[in-house]
Structure 1
């Protein structure tokens, strides 16, 4: 009897080794279920934060740039958003216009000047970012020049003269504004920099004490009728982005208005921010969609997890980014500033004087969705999560064109979960399945999943953590 029991024991052990059983959540990849494409993640250094970066000493400058754009040591960002200036002067926190002085009339030649101070060092930053792998440059104007607007100033809202429901004694300034944008794009082209997308509004639902211009959907369409043919006439391939609403629903209103006016064909990229209303159901458009700005303003926070739902925690931003891709079907996600000399959480890196660079955990949340793991041309694919225990997982997966797959698993619960990944065997090229962990103690720490037979891999995902599988 003892011998038989021993033999049975050996057989059961062999069976268990050949067909291991999952002891926690099982994530199954569905590579045949395809969603939107992927453009990347990004940041801005508008309002002279490019100048702040430029003033760092060389070592700190390279460190900050690599943190943001390197796909080897940093977040691997692939999108840079620059600001098109509208200010008549270039004091700090202003973006000086290339047409700072009003012409004689709305039909006169604009008084162009060269890009002020290297476009507040955004030209220099564009070169640096492209050299580190950035694929897209997006140039956005917060406002037209004050003399083109109903209120006569670049600040406190106002409307572009010539659009619906405006009446300006100086006439219609739509063509002049379009001409200025064309010249700006040509200035960059002459320097060897292609601007892929250009916007003419920023948070047009708000009036702010800094550069701002208001517009509803019909009024945006009124300008698109002028800007679109102006770009074509100039031989520019730059596509128009619109409209950087302050929140998801504010942007939806403007997009709906543009569609109702029949000008949606002129828009190449739909853009929104995440402030006034959170990203939710996708926009009813076939256009690519980016969240082009979002941040938080509470006192400086370097932590991954402080308390449930704390707005500046790294974990909070990991969920924001993931849900934007998974729920709102965005193809790109941009935080506000990448690096800045600020006293709140508007940036991912804090710089001080000429040398100090401090990194927040929010940067590493972005890195999981950057080009270190997800390549240009990737497609988001389906995932299902099954479990034999209670868990709090959010999961996304992106299939790259080179056959690799990146899977992001966020554990919002308190307990460690043993996560089994399935469904990748037919697409795997061989080699170890690497994992990358970020939480309070780890910043993209590399490890290896335990690969099992039958197309499975198992890894531990601690509570309040983000772990990426790279297959």
Structure 2
């Protein structure tokens, strides 16, 4: 996503925003079932593509370090564990373009051996953010190309859609078939990042490939069209290219469609074309259709890689009658992704953005205005999950209750995480059973709290966790040592 994509619907609204009768009992017992196992979590994250990274970099200290700390600190911030970087394709850095590392065409695909690659050591500011993330222990970096360079495409430019020259069903290109050249281009990106101390773990070659040229103002930024069948065709070239270059450990991601249902169709096409086993993760956005009770038709891991509220004006509210910019809305949306979509990762669009871009809407988690910054409640909704559920955690069973939305996970260190959203209009007392708890911590987020630690959480002699009430339309996350 980027800039003028305002015609698409705003982000999914939480279905728990309507009023419900108050619960009859004052205390609810949740029971965790460690024997019931679901997906493994890779993490939670964001992007700073299209030069958004400079919003952080240009802050004077100590505010620059404060924002980085907010994003990556696992004790006081969100503890994000995935960074999604845009792979540039534009000829220069005008406006907020992401410049390509191959600014000049070698003339023909056969001349790629003489290609003049250029690495500026900045990558639109994304390299610096990635280097800061590494200092906090982040290990998952997703390099995602919005488009191939224009000279590799049927329309001759990196914006406005067009297809990769050579894919089946695309217009013929007089310059030839650029599929292998594009695969080599992506490998070169991985190598540049390696040389700069960042190990790219996932590589994507498309972003919203279903955005047609006839959608007004939809693709005035880098974009490239592709069907599921065309994507499968390129994956069969990219996969052996990665292996030949010694990068078989890098997972191919596909296809970052605009919505969950469109991605389902593309996923089915990948499976039908025999490309599923070559893909590391299936990736989707949630703009044109949300995650709503259906999983992707695949055996591979699934990531939700981009979401935001594109229409609402900047808001730091937790709950305002279910607005699509509210923190409460996004706490519920993440819950839906984890439980209905079985996603292994959930990523927001951009971490930071300035006040002028897109009329200061809610597509950012943190507003950077000059030398000041402001944190939204959407950020703290993410933090409830991303700080407590760490990479490698496995989702396990937990009883649900009318008015409560719960998830439970076992982290690699053996700790058990229970996330609880109260959709009711009254506080909910609860206890957590099914664990032989030794110690527990809990954090609350609502209109008055931003991951505020509990001073009342307790563990009984039988290992039951209690002592905490979940505020009305609030959220509490527990981490229990067992």
Q: Which TM-score applies when normalising by structure 2?
A: 0.89
Other-structure match for 2:375: 359
Matched, 1:164 2:180: no
Runs of 5+ unmatched residues, structure 1: 1-21
Other-structure match for 1:334: 347
Selected match of 1:274 from 286, 291, 295 = 286
Instruction: Using the TM superposition, give the Cα deviation of residue 134 of structure 1 relative to its aligned residue in structure 2, in angstroms.
Output: 1.3
Other-structure match for 2:429: 418
Does the Cα contact within 8 Å between 1:100 and 1:111 map onto a contact in 2? no
Instruction: Using the TM superposition, give the Cα deviation of residue 346 of structure 1 relative to its aligned residue in structure 2, in angstroms.
Output: 1.0
Instruction: Using the TM superposition, give the Cα deviation of residue 133 of structure 1 relative to its aligned residue in structure 2, in angstroms.
Output: 2.3
Q: How does 1:232-271 map to 2 (within 5 A)?
A: 232-236=243-247, 237-271=249-283
Matched, 1:130 2:141: no
Instruction: Using the TM superposition, give the Cα deviation of residue 451 of structure 1 relative to its aligned residue in structure 2, in angstroms.
Output: 3.3
Selected match of 2:331 from 318, 322, 325 = 318
Matched, 1:456 2:464: yes
Query: Any idea what SS the aligned residue of 1:41 has?
Result: strand
Cα distance in 1 for residues equivalent to 2:308 and 2:298 = 25
Does the Cα contact within 8 Å between 1:398 and 1:407 map onto a contact in 2? yes
Cα distance in 1 for residues equivalent to 2:184 and 2:414 = 44
Instruction: Using the TM superposition, give the Cα deviation of residue 112 of structure 1 relative to its aligned residue in structure 2, in angstroms.
Output: 2.9
Selected match of 2:55 from 52, 56, 61 = 52
What are the Cα deviations for residues 308-357 of structure 1, in whole angstroms up to 9, with x where unaligned?
x210000000011111111110011000101121411111011122x211
Selected match of 1:385 from 371, 383, 400 = 400
Selected match of 1:397 from 408, 414, 418 = 408
Report the more deviating stretch, 314-323 or 114-123. 114-123
Other-structure match for 1:347: 364
Does the Cα contact within 8 Å between 1:70 and 1:133 map onto a contact in 2? no
Larger Rg: 1
Does the Cα contact within 8 Å between 1:312 and 1:345 map onto a contact in 2? yes
Query: Any idea what SS the aligned residue of 2:309 has?
Result: coil
Selected match of 2:94 from 84, 91, 111 = 91
Instruction: Using the TM superposition, give the Cα deviation of residue 152 of structure 1 relative to its aligned residue in structure 2, in angstroms.
Output: 1.1
Does the Cα contact within 8 Å between 1:75 and 1:368 map onto a contact in 2? yes
Instruction: Using the TM superposition, give the Cα deviation of residue 192 of structure 1 relative to its aligned residue in structure 2, in angstroms.
Output: 2.1
Instruction: Using the TM superposition, give the Cα deviation of residue 444 of structure 1 relative to its aligned residue in structure 2, in angstroms.
Output: 0.6
Does the Cα contact within 8 Å between 2:149 and 2:157 map onto a contact in 1? yes
Does the Cα contact within 8 Å between 1:202 and 1:212 map onto a contact in 2? yes
Other-structure match for 1:224: 235
Query: Any idea what SS the aligned residue of 1:192 has?
Result: coil
Instruction: Using the TM superposition, give the Cα deviation of residue 421 of structure 1 relative to its aligned residue in structure 2, in angstroms.
Output: 1.3
Other-structure match for 2:36: 33
Query: Any idea what SS the aligned residue of 1:108 has?
Result: helix
What are the Cα deviations for residues 266-311 of structure 1, in whole angstroms up to 9, with x where unaligned?
111111111111013111222111111110121001010111x210
Instruction: Using the TM superposition, give the Cα deviation of residue 453 of structure 1 relative to its aligned residue in structure 2, in angstroms.
Output: 4.5
Cα distance in 2 for residues equivalent to 1:77 and 1:46 = 16
RMSD after superposition: 1.4
Other-structure match for 1:9: none
What are the Cα deviations for residues 8-45 of structure 1, in whole angstroms up to 9, with x where unaligned?
xxxxxxxxxxxxxx843221111111111111110000
Report the more deviating stretch, 76-85 or 152-161. 152-161
Instruction: Using the TM superposition, give the Cα deviation of residue 149 of structure 1 relative to its aligned residue in structure 2, in angstroms.
Output: 0.9
Does the Cα contact within 8 Å between 1:76 and 1:133 map onto a contact in 2? no
Does the Cα contact within 8 Å between 2:102 and 2:118 map onto a contact in 1? no
Cα distance in 1 for residues equivalent to 2:335 and 2:223 = 30
Q: How does 1:189-204 map to 2 (within 5 A)?
A: 189-204=194-209
Cα distance in 2 for residues equivalent to 1:367 and 1:180 = 35
| 179 and 147 in structure 1: CA distance in 2 versus 1, 3 angstrom threshold | same
Other-structure match for 2:64: 61
Does the Cα contact within 8 Å between 2:107 and 2:175 map onto a contact in 1? no
Instruction: Using the TM superposition, give the Cα deviation of residue 117 of structure 1 relative to its aligned residue in structure 2, in angstroms.
Output: 5.2
Does the Cα contact within 8 Å between 2:89 and 2:150 map onto a contact in 1? yes
Does the Cα contact within 8 Å between 2:229 and 2:269 map onto a contact in 1? yes
Other-structure match for 1:445: 452
Cα distance in 1 for residues equivalent to 2:426 and 2:188 = 56
Selected match of 2:184 from 161, 164, 179 = 179
Report the more deviating stretch, 209-218 or 103-112. 103-112
Matched, 1:143 2:147: yes
Other-structure match for 1:14: none
Cα distance in 1 for residues equivalent to 2:276 and 2:148 = 21
Query: Any idea what SS the aligned residue of 1:368 has?
Result: helix
Query: Any idea what SS the aligned residue of 2:313 has?
Result: coil
Other-structure match for 2:318: 304
Cα distance in 2 for residues equivalent to 1:395 and 1:255 = 28
Cα distance in 1 for residues equivalent to 2:286 and 2:234 = 24
Does the Cα contact within 8 Å between 1:437 and 1:467 map onto a contact in 2? yes
Cα distance in 2 for residues equivalent to 1:114 and 1:67 = 33
Query: Any idea what SS the aligned residue of 1:328 has?
Result: coil
Selected match of 2:475 from 441, 447, 466 = 466
Runs of 5+ unmatched residues, structure 2: 1-24, 213-218
